[in-house]
């Protein structure tokens, strides 16, 4: 069997995905014999395409679920998608617009059919993309938030919360998007700073020459004013309170009232009260029983209440109002003014606060146990600082506007009676009004906020409200991985709903992953044109490379800047693994590990050293996976494989792999063992390549690496003595290489090396491993001992326990050697000075722990010795 010299991912990845899927490895079953480990996927929007945020998030989930699956848990990753109310409806409306149609042209039923067919057509794309990324989801458990089962859960929750008094209908100021033509919740509105104007308008006082000047950024809303308010303690306006102002243009009489909500510092200290178009004004109006006038239609054009201004777009209306105010000389002043203005999260239209009858959920009581669950540590947030953000929001939580004037979504299960006006809220479509038995009932036109169903995801996906075995076994889930920007939208609400309906937290750990940015530090976004399709990179570099890069580059609490150079680096790492395996396989032909144990084999120093390193690597990988430090796991594996395994071990054992070498089998066994364990350690990160290579192993532990047991660190492998010895040999070899390189000696040129050491153990170690020096430092002749004399003008390197000389006769580059020594000496002197400063410090000697002081002393002695020897050396060179 001969493999190509370079790893080619194309064709490999998808083949193995099919292999796993066909064998059912992704399935998670209720299995009392094992401990469950479950994850629910943050459901992507059906209409969406996966971007790098998804790629990162799902890679991290897949790493964890693969790790736990290999480690003996009954692992189950529940996948699915979200119907994404507004987003999806907008997409389909845009499609219709291309045909010159609106949803109203189709009507509700036809429109929803259209969205469903869109969903059927494109909804599977997410699944295909996740598969392409290697995600080991249990596809037989895939759900969609508008599925029959999940819709049932939604109705059940709505009805129960209504009956319990948490859900109510009310007339409130809500955020209205005139483009989407629906109410929004507070968190669906994003404030953006924008430059506007602050207009000062004079409202005359009835029966007086006086006027009161108010300031506003939205002058058109004056048409809906029903009062003017000042602060009760504002002396400037004391005598005006109780009088009547006249609304310019419309000449409506407005009471002048006093209310604490007015800020005396702002503008003129007088506030126009517009109860139907401002939340603060609405509250003032309630306190003073003011009239409430709504001047806007659903599309933010003015209605009949705007009088002569009826039928205008809100900005056109603003323009006309301002012109007329100018004409009437009521516009006193206008100034440039930068202020935050709310925009629709989905379409970026400026949101209009409008008084409207909507459905709300009372949150304060629901939030309490959810706060406790995190405070008591039942749910852990990583990084921890998100807990504070969660607490701040939850402790000041407002009622949640859950109704939307959309067509795509869960229809609100409430029916209004035309006869008695009462509401019937019911799980099933009622035949008659529950209050008066009238048959003239109409279902509420609205649907629920898309996040309403997402909040139930961790248990609705497992079949709730039925009492399924899955719920008993897999709930609560073990781990949630998500983007920090949906902590309020989703995470907080899942915790509240989970506690309320299941009586248990929905997950034990929440990892808020990094935000993925592009190379210039911009947030990846399709609308900004900075989005890159993860699958394009899969094509170019292979998904394994992309996965490794993402996991390796993430860092808890930090943004991740995705760099193509890093992906390229990961690809090279894969190639390195490919070639190391190729080398191993070439040398394992005919080898069988059957019946072999480490104990009976003549292990060499390098074998014991590598096994010790392997044991530490396994330990570190497990520990850092358990704490979700994916980057540390990545660098641990990278260092072990590239540096310990390839650079040192493979090079050291090459001579032993030749025919007839006496300890060949020991090397083969360690090689085989390390390769096998390493492939398993790597598998969660780079599932495709590891499977490809696993299948080529001479003796497979399992038919797939995916179901092989995750490595456990063997304490018997730990060998501190071997590590110390190898360190010394490595240091000596590097010293020789450094000298050679400094003198421009090509590797082909063999050198004579002398090592002076006064430590017998070091001397013995060197003698026993002379071949290391020949193979790795191209040494021809090696003399070692306490009485080794430095050959004339031989360049040297000073170590703690030895001095290394390289005798190179004719081709010594003296200048180079001298520069190098000077540089080194300077560094050493600085270090020595700093340690001496420490040791002359009485307080350091008195207060620092003994081992630190001892370490410092030893260091100082070594440095002093080195400096002295170097100085002598330089003298000899005639400096």
Partner RNA sequence: GGGCGAAUAGCUCAGCGGCAGAGCGUCCGCCUUACACGCGGAAGGUCCCAGGUUCAAAUCCUGGUUCGCCCACCA
> Judging by beta carbons within 10 Å of its beta carbon (0-12, 13-18, 19+), is residue 134 exposed, middle or buried?
buried
Among 107, 164, 340, 357, binds RNA (CB under 7 A): 340
- Give the residue with the Cβ less far from RNA, 98 or 520: 520
Torsion of CA 186, 190, 196, 199, to 10 degrees: 10
- What angle, 0 to 180 degrees and rounded to 10, lies between the N-to-C axes of helices 543-553 and 534-541? 120
Please, which of residues 707-736 interact with RNA by CB under 7 A?
Answer: 734
Contact status: 576 vs RNA (CB under 7 A)? yes
Q: State the DSSP code for 791.
A: P
> Phi and psi for 243 in degrees, rounded to 5?
-80, -175
Contact status: 565 vs RNA (CB under 7 A)? yes
Q: How far is the CB of 864 from RNA (least distance, A)?
A: 13
Long-range contacts of 563-566 (CB under 8 A, 24+ apart): 563/519, 564/519
Please, which of residues 632-651 interact with RNA by CB under 7 A?
Answer: 632, 635, 642, 646-647, 650-651
Distance (Å) of CA 175 to CA 167, 287, 350, 402, 524: 19, 21, 10, 12, 28
C-beta separation of 469 from 141 below 8 A: no
Contact status: 286 vs RNA (CB under 7 A)? no
Closest CA to 126 of 42, 215, 45: 45
Contact status: 524 vs RNA (CB under 7 A)? no
Contact status: 566 vs RNA (CB under 7 A)? yes
- Give the residue with the Cβ less far from RNA, 64 or 189: 189
Angle at 463 between CA 458 and CA 467, to 5 degrees: 110
Please, which of residues 791-830 interact with RNA by CB under 7 A?
Answer: 823
Q: How far is the CB of 483 from RNA (least distance, A)?
A: 11
From the list 10-18, 400-408, 758-766, 846-854, the region that binds RNA by CB under 7 A is 846-854
Contact status: 663 vs RNA (CB under 7 A)? no
**Gap between the Cα atoms of 233 and 230, Å rounded:** 8
Q: How far is the CB of 849 from RNA (least distance, A)?
A: 5
Residue 382 in tokens: 């990583």
Contact status: 280 vs RNA (CB under 7 A)? yes
Residue 30 CB coordination number (10 Å):
15
Contact status: 485 vs RNA (CB under 7 A)? yes
Q: How far is the CB of 638 from RNA (least distance, A)?
A: 7
Q: State the DSSP code for 205.
A: B
Among 747, 786, 809, 865, binds RNA (CB under 7 A): 747
Q: How far is the CB of 216 from RNA (least distance, A)?
A: 4
Task: Give the binding-site size for RNA (rule: CB under 7 A).
Answer: 87
Residue that the structure tokens 């507070």 belong to: 186
Q: How far is the CB of 851 from RNA (least distance, A)?
A: 9
C-beta separation of 685 from 633 below 8 A: yes
- Give the residue with the Cβ less far from RNA, 586 or 761: 586
* Per-residue binding letters, 236-275, with RNA (x by CB under 7 A): -------------------------xxxxxxx-xxxx---
* Per-residue binding letters, 488-507, with RNA (x by CB under 7 A): x-------------------
> Phi and psi for 229 in degrees, rounded to 5?
-125, 145
C-beta separation of 507 from 477 below 8 A: yes
From the list 358-366, 371-379, 580-588, 664-672, the region that binds RNA by CB under 7 A is 580-588
Contact status: 563 vs RNA (CB under 7 A)? yes
Among 746, 787, 792, 875, binds RNA (CB under 7 A): 746
Contact status: 89 vs RNA (CB under 7 A)? no
- Give the residue with the Cβ less far from RNA, 169 or 774: 774
C-beta separation of 254 from 246 below 8 A: yes
* Per-residue binding letters, 530-559, with RNA (x by CB under 7 A): -----------------------x-xxxxx
Contact status: 139 vs RNA (CB under 7 A)? no
From the list 4-12, 80-88, 690-698, 786-794, the region that binds RNA by CB under 7 A is 4-12
Contact status: 214 vs RNA (CB under 7 A)? yes
Contact status: 741 vs RNA (CB under 7 A)? yes
- Give the residue with the Cβ less far from RNA, 558 or 771: 558
From the list 107-115, 134-142, 303-311, 852-860, the region that binds RNA by CB under 7 A is 852-860
Please, which of residues 367-396 interact with RNA by CB under 7 A?
Answer: 385, 388-389, 392-393
From the list 305-313, 314-322, 564-572, 865-873, the region that binds RNA by CB under 7 A is 564-572
As a whole number of angstroms, the longest Cα–Cα distance in the chain is 118
C-beta separation of 782 from 772 below 8 A: no
Residue 105 in tokens: 């042209």
Contact status: 288 vs RNA (CB under 7 A)? no
Task: Show Cβ contacts of residue 613 under 8 Å, excluding neighbours closer than 6 positions.
Answer: 640, 644, 723
Contact status: 660 vs RNA (CB under 7 A)? no
Q: How far is the CB of 631 from RNA (least distance, A)?
A: 6
Residue 334: in which H helix or E strand, if any?
A: strand 331-344
Beta-strand pair 803-807/796-798: antiparallel
**Gap between the Cα atoms of 674 and 655, Å rounded:** 18
**Gap between the Cα atoms of 304 and 295, Å rounded:** 7
> Phi and psi for 397 in degrees, rounded to 5?
-70, 145
Contact status: 859 vs RNA (CB under 7 A)? yes
């Amino acid at each position: 069997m001969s493999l190509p010299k370079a790893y080619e991912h194309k064709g490999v990845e998808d083949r193995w995905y099919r292999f796993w899927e066909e064998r059912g490895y992704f399935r998670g079953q209720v299995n009392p014999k094992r401990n469950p480990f479950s994850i629910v996927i943050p459901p992507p929007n059906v209409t969406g395409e996966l971007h790098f945020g998804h790629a990162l998030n799902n890679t991290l989930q897949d790493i964890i679920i693969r790790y736990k699956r290999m480690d003996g848990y009954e692992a189950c990753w529940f996948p699915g998608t979200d119907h994404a109310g507004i987003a999806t409806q907008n997409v389909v409306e845009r499609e219709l617009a291309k045909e010159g149609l609106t949803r109203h042209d189709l009507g509700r039923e036809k429109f929803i059919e259209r969205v469903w067919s869109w969903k059927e057509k494109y909804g599977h794309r997410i699944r295909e993309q996740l598969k392409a990324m290697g995600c080991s989801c249990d596809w037989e458990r895939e759900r969609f938030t508008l599925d029959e089962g999940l819709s049932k859960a939604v109705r059940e929750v709505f009805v129960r919360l209504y009956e319990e008094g948490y859900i109510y209908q009310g007339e409130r100021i809500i955020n209205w998007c005139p483009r989407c033509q629906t109410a929004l919740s507070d968190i669906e509105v994003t404030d953006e700073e924008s430059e506007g104007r602050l207009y000062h308008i004079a409202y005359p006082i009835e029966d007086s020459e006086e006027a009161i000047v108010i300031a506003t950024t939205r002058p058109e809303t004056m048409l809906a004013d029903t009062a003017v308010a000042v602060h009760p303690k504002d002396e400037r306006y004391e005598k005006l309170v109780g009088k009547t102002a006249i609304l310019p243009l419309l000449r409506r009489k407005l009471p002048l009232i006093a209310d604490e909500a007015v800020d005396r510092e702002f503008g003129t200290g007088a506030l126009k009260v517009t109860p139907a178009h401002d939340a603060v004004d609405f509250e003032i109006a309630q306190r003073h029983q003011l009239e409430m006038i709504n001047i806007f239609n659903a599309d933010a054009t003015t209605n009949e209440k705007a009088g002569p201004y009826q039928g205008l777009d809100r900005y056109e209306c603003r323009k006309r109002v301002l012109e007329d105010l100018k004409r009437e000389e009521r516009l006193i002043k206008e100034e440039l003014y930068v202020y935050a203005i709310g925009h629709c999260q989905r379409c970026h239209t400026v949101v209009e606060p409008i008084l409207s009858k909507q459905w709300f959920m009372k949150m304060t009581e629901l939030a309490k146990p959810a706060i406790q669950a995190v405070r008591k540590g039942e749910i852990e947030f990583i990084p921890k600082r998100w807990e504070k953000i969660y607490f701040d929001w939850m402790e000041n939580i407002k009622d949640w506007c859950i109704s939307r004037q959309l067509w795509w979504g869960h229809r609100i299960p409430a029916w209004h009676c035309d006869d008695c006006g009462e509401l019937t809220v019911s799980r099933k479509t009622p035949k008659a009004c529950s209050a008066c038995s009238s048959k003239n009932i109409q279902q509420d036109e609205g649907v629920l906020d898309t996040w309403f169903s997402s909040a139930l995801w961790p248990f609705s996906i497992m079949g709730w409200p039925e009492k399924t075995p899955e719920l008993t076994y897999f709930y609560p889930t073990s781990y949630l991985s998500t983007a920090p920007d949906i902590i309020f939208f989703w995470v907080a609400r899942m915790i509240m709903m989970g506690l309320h309906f299941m009586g248990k937290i929905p997950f034990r750990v929440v990892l808020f992953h990094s935000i993925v940015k592009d190379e210039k530090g911009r947030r990846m976004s399709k609308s900004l044109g900075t989005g890159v399709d993860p699958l394009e990179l899969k094509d170019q570099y292979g998904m394994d490379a992309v996965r490794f890069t993402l996991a390796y580059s993430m860092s808890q609490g930090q943004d991740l800047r995705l760099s193509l150079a890093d992906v390229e680096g990961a690809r090279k790492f894969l190639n390195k693994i490919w070639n190391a395996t190729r080398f191993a396989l070439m040398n394992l032909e005919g080898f069988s590990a059957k019946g072999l144990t480490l104990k009976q084999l003549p292990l060499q120093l390098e074998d014991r050293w590598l096994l010790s390193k392997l044991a530490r690597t396994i330990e570190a990988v497990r520990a850092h996976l358990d704490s979700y430090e994916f980057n540390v796991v990545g660098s641990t594996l990278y260092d072990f494989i590239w540096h310990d395994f390839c650079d040192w071990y493979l090079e050291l054992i090459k001579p032993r792999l030749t025919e007839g070498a006496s300890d060949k089998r020991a090397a083969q066994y360690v090689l085989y063992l390390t390769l096998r364990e390493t492939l398993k350690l790597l598998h969660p990160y780079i599932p495709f390549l590891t499977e490809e290579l696993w299948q080529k192993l001479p003796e497979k532990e399992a038919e797939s690496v995916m179901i092989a047991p995750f490595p456990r660190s063997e304490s018997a492998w730990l060998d501190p003595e071997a590590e110390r010895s190898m360190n010394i040999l490595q240091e000596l070899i590097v010293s020789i290489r450094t000298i050679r390189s400094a003198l421009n000696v090509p590797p082909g040129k063999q050198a004579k090396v002398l090592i002076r050491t006064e430590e017998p153990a070091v001397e013995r170690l060197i003698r026993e491993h002379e071949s290391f020096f020949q193979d790795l430092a191209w040494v021809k002749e090696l003399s070692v001992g306490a009485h080794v004399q430095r050959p004339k003008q031989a360049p040297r390197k000073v170590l703690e326990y030895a001095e290394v000389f390289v005798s190179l006769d004719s081709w010594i580059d003296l200048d180079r050697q001298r520069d190098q020594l000077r540089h080194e000496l300077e560094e050493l002197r600085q270090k020595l000075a700093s340690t001496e400063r420490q040791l002359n410090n009485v307080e350091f000697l008195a207060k620092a722990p003994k081992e630190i002081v001892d370490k410092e002393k030893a260091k100082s002695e070594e440095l002093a010795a080195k400096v002295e020897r170097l100085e002598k050396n330089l003298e000899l060179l005639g400096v």
